Amino acid sequence: MSNEPPQKTGTSKHRTFFERLSGVFHTPTREDFIDTLHEANEQKLIDDSALKMMEGVMRYSSLRACDLMVPRSQMRVVDLSEPREVWLPQMIESGHSRFPVILDDDRDNVIGILHAKSILPVLIDPNFKAKDHLRPAKFIPESMPLNDLLRDFRLERNHMAIVVNEFGNVSGLITIEDVLEQIVGEIDDEFDEIDEDADNILEDTKHACWRVKALTEIEQFNEYFQTQINTDEDCHCETIGGLIADRLEHMPKTGEVVRIENFRFTVLRADERQVRLLKVERVSPEEAPAQEKKE
């Protein structure tokens, strides 16, 4: 007779699961780990919110600053070479809390960061000088991984970084909110204004791609790129995000990639309800496959 103690009823399933979970850390693929997380979610060991955050962590670690930065042309800056009557109303209108500060309309010459709360004394002090209240700007390369950037933000208690290219020119800016949104989803506050028609398509000439809001209408996309996407299809979607979801046949997740005609669409931001932001690249007709996923 065997001397091995009998296995306790009801524990075999959990022991098998944790054995499999342990084994995942010794495999080179992320897909196995993500599949195991989904199995844990199905067994109610982790809830939906935890699953989404874990998936977000896995995805954001492969992204770099240039993937999420606000392009320099869209940066809200304060030019202290102009009178306060010019830049102060611009700060108030934007609703942001931090602003890169430049001189002489030169976006490559960022001399510091101005906090909105730092200019409150201007209301009572006519001699207030904003330049005396600047904080040092943090400069990072375009290639900096987001996980390294988040670590630096935390250690240095910083909330904004200026992204520069290999020649030292400003490419854009990125905030801690941009990074955290890759993990926890879109973060909106009372100052966020939604304008679906403004800046729907932004060109990134440095990386030969475009950042396109998912709510961009297909008609506007076709007009901008001089193409005929979805004009003869049975899909009755009105937006690019809807078209991507239709092609994937499920709610798109951050990091997923799909090719439609001569364009490759990468989901940069998405939540459980909709796609938010896409990266669009032109591809040659010879490139394949028609649909793929990033690892």
pLDDT of res. 28: 52
**Domain boundaries defined on the chain:** 66-184, 201-293
Q: What is the CATH number of domain 201-293?
A: 3.30.465.10
**Chunked mean pLDDT (size 10), the chain, 295 residues:** 49 53 59 78 79 73 82 87 87 85 92 88 80 91 89 90 91 88 62 52 81 88 87 71 86 86 88 81 69 42
Residue 269 CB neighbours (<10 A):
20
pLDDT of res. 286: 65
Closest CA to 67 of 192, 236, 181, 216: 181
Residue type, 139: F
pTM equals 0.56
Angstrom distance (rounded) from CA 76 to CA 202: 15
Residue 107 CB neighbours (<10 A):
17
Domains 66-184 and 201-293 belong to one CATH topology: no
Tokens of 18: 């944790």
Angstrom distance (rounded) from CA 73 to CA 194: 19
CATH architecture assignment, domain 66-184: Roll (3.10)
Are 249 and 176 in contact by the 8 Å Cβ rule? The answer is no
